[in-house]
Amino acid sequence: MRIGLSEKCIIFVNDSQCQKQKEMTNISIAIAEDQPLALKSILKKLSNTAGLDVSFTAANGLELLEKFEKQQTNIVLMDIEMPVMEGITATRQLKEKYPDVKVLMLTTFDDDDKIFNAILSGAAGYLLKDESADMIKKAIADIYEGGAAMSPGIALKALNYIKSTPQPKAETTSPEPSLLSARETEILTALKEGLAYKQIADKLYISEGTVRKHIENIYRKLQVNNKVSAVNMAKANKWL
């Protein structure tokens, strides 16, 4: 695959196609990665790429902070799992002192907690290490230009997080009459109590089948597929 955004081509093309942009300075990169093999793999992916300069590497977060003092770079590729000082702490401290540096987290894990801590620490991107060389280069280009980059699976988690977050809609003029019908809200209220279908049926004097159908409709409307998620969604939207 070839990534072909013309204005970015100096980053990806190492030959003749972009002569007129020769004067652009390279993007400088620092890498923090404790595992020699993984480091080698990253370096290989970035090698032979015009427009990118790997300034130095470090084997842990502390070492990176020290070296960065002496030689600052545009971008830092940061592993999360490192001895002495792991990547999230290092990122937080780095961004505190150098707010403009862009940090791209590069890790083998897509654990939710790590992702969100990385985001909170100020990382501009979060990629899985097994991304292709082109994807990593594009991510570097994107965050250098002020954007952000995420692996598809990470992006999905981010979207789901936003969806599940109670919206701080200050100007929410619409009371949003809760897609749900009155009966469905009753059912959901019962679900919230931890009741089973049969118990809800007895409580509302309807059949279990009807309870089931109502819950199907609730799931469809709320885009969920289990009780706990339905209750969460309803609570997030203040429908309960």
Residues in contact with its own copies by CB under 8 A are: 1-5, 12-13, 95-97, 99, 111-112, 116, 119-120, 122, 124-125, 132-135, 138, 142-143, 145-153, 155-156, 158-159, 161-163, 165-168, 191-194, 196, 203, 220-221, 223-224, 226-229, 231-232
- Nearest distance in Å: CB 237, DNA: 16
- As given in the structure block, the two tokens for residue 49 are 């790429």
Sheet order of strands, 102-107 included: 52-58, 27-32, 75-78, 102-107, 125-128, 149-150
With CB under 7 A as the contact rule, which of the stretches 35-43, 130-138, 146-154, 202-210 interacts with DNA? 202-210
- Nearest distance in Å: CB 220, DNA: 8
Whichever of 212 and 235 has its CB closer to DNA, that residue is: 212
Q: How far apart are CA 165 and CA 33, in angstroms?
A: 33
Whichever of 40 and 163 has its CB closer to DNA, that residue is: 163
Q: How far apart are CA 210 and CA 202, in angstroms?
A: 11
Long-range contact set of residues 183-188: C-beta below 8 Å, sequence gap at least 24: 183/214, 184/214, 184/217, 184/218, 184/221, 185/239, 185/240, 187/211, 187/214, 187/215, 187/218, 188/218, 188/230, 188/231, 188/234, 188/239, 188/240
Q: Which of 24, 43, 155, 196 binds DNA (CB under 7 A)?
A: 196
Q: How far apart are CA 181 and CA 161, in angstroms?
A: 26
Q: Which of 102, 114, 138, 214 binds DNA (CB under 7 A)?
A: 214
Per CB under 7 A, 216 contacts DNA: yes
Q: Which of 40, 44, 97, 183 binds DNA (CB under 7 A)?
A: 183
Whichever of 59 and 233 has its CB closer to its own copies, that residue is: 233
- Nearest distance in Å: CB 143, DNA: 19
Count of residues touching DNA (by CB under 7 A): 22
Phi, psi (deg, nearest 5) at residue 169: -75, 95
Count of CA atoms in the C-beta half-sphere (13 A) of 78:
38
Q: Which residues bind DNA (CB under 7 A)?
A: 181-184, 196-198, 204, 206-210, 212-216, 219, 225-227
